[in-house]
Protein backbone atom coordinates (compact mmCIF):
# COMPACT_ATOMS: atom_id res chain seq x y z
CA UNK A 1 0.00 0.00 0.00
CA UNK A 2 1.29 3.44 -0.93
CA UNK A 3 0.10 6.99 -0.36
CA UNK A 4 -0.15 8.70 -3.74
CA UNK A 5 -0.98 12.35 -4.42
CA UNK A 6 -2.22 14.00 -7.58
CA UNK A 7 -1.48 17.72 -7.71
CA UNK A 8 -2.63 19.91 -10.59
CA UNK A 9 -2.80 23.59 -11.41
CA UNK A 10 -4.29 24.98 -14.61
CA UNK A 11 -1.40 27.05 -15.96
CA UNK A 12 2.40 27.04 -16.04
CA UNK A 13 2.63 30.27 -14.05
CA UNK A 14 0.53 28.92 -11.17
CA UNK A 15 2.09 27.49 -8.03
CA UNK A 16 1.42 24.02 -6.59
CA UNK A 17 2.73 25.00 -3.15
CA UNK A 18 -0.72 25.36 -1.56
CA UNK A 19 -1.60 21.77 -2.46
CA UNK A 20 1.72 20.44 -1.15
CA UNK A 21 1.18 22.41 2.05
CA UNK A 22 -2.28 20.88 2.47
CA UNK A 23 -0.75 17.40 2.69
CA UNK A 24 2.10 18.59 4.91
CA UNK A 25 -0.35 20.26 7.30
CA UNK A 26 -2.35 17.03 7.52
CA UNK A 27 0.87 15.09 8.25
CA UNK A 28 0.30 12.81 5.26
CA UNK A 29 3.46 10.97 4.27
CA UNK A 30 3.34 10.62 0.50
CA UNK A 31 5.21 7.85 -1.27
CA UNK A 32 4.75 9.31 -4.75
CA UNK A 33 3.41 12.55 -6.21
CA UNK A 34 2.04 13.03 -9.70
CA UNK A 35 2.09 16.72 -10.50
CA UNK A 36 1.20 18.70 -13.60
CA UNK A 37 0.44 22.20 -14.80
CA UNK A 38 -2.32 21.74 -17.33
CA UNK A 39 -5.99 22.58 -17.68
CA UNK A 40 -8.33 20.12 -16.02
CA UNK A 41 -10.99 20.58 -18.69
CA UNK A 42 -10.07 17.48 -20.66
CA UNK A 43 -8.88 14.42 -18.73
CA UNK A 44 -7.43 12.86 -21.91
CA UNK A 45 -4.88 15.71 -22.23
CA UNK A 46 -3.26 15.13 -18.83
CA UNK A 47 -0.19 12.87 -19.10
CA UNK A 48 0.52 12.73 -15.34
CA UNK A 49 -3.08 11.71 -14.67
CA UNK A 50 -2.72 8.85 -17.17
CA UNK A 51 0.58 7.81 -15.63
CA UNK A 52 -0.92 7.91 -12.15
CA UNK A 53 -3.88 5.76 -13.16
CA UNK A 54 -1.50 3.18 -14.63
CA UNK A 55 0.69 3.29 -11.51
CA UNK A 56 -2.01 2.89 -8.85
CA UNK A 57 -2.33 -0.56 -7.34
CA UNK A 58 -4.83 -2.31 -5.12
CA UNK A 59 -4.66 -0.94 -1.59
CA UNK A 60 -3.06 2.37 -2.57
CA UNK A 61 -4.59 5.55 -1.18
CA UNK A 62 -5.02 8.51 -3.51
CA UNK A 63 -4.90 12.00 -2.04
CA UNK A 64 -6.14 15.13 -3.77
CA UNK A 65 -6.49 18.61 -2.33
CA UNK A 66 -9.96 19.01 -3.85
CA UNK A 67 -12.22 17.24 -6.31
CA UNK A 68 -11.60 19.97 -8.89
CA UNK A 69 -7.91 18.99 -9.04
CA UNK A 70 -8.90 15.52 -10.26
CA UNK A 71 -11.91 16.30 -12.46
CA UNK A 72 -13.76 19.40 -13.60
CA UNK A 73 -17.05 17.74 -14.48
CA UNK A 74 -19.28 15.43 -12.48
CA UNK A 75 -19.30 12.80 -15.21
CA UNK A 76 -15.47 12.78 -15.42
CA UNK A 77 -15.27 12.53 -11.63
CA UNK A 78 -17.74 9.64 -11.50
CA UNK A 79 -15.88 7.80 -14.27
CA UNK A 80 -12.62 8.33 -12.41
CA UNK A 81 -14.18 6.94 -9.21
CA UNK A 82 -15.41 3.88 -11.08
CA UNK A 83 -11.92 3.27 -12.47
CA UNK A 84 -10.33 3.73 -9.03
CA UNK A 85 -12.89 1.44 -7.40
CA UNK A 86 -12.26 -1.23 -10.02
CA UNK A 87 -8.55 -1.08 -9.12
CA UNK A 88 -9.47 -1.23 -5.40
CA UNK A 89 -7.74 2.08 -4.69
* 11-48: b (≥16 Cβ within 10 Å) or e: eeeeebeebbebbeeeeeeeeebbebebebeebeebeb
Q: Is 68 a catalytic residue?
A: no
| CA of residue 57 relative to chain centroid, distance | 14
Of the listed 10, 39, 68, 75, which one is catalytic? Answer: 10
What is the SS3 assignment for 41? coil
The catalytic site residues sit at 10
Amino acid sequence: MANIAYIRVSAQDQNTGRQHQCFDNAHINLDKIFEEKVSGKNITDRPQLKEMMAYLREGDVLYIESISRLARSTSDFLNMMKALSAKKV
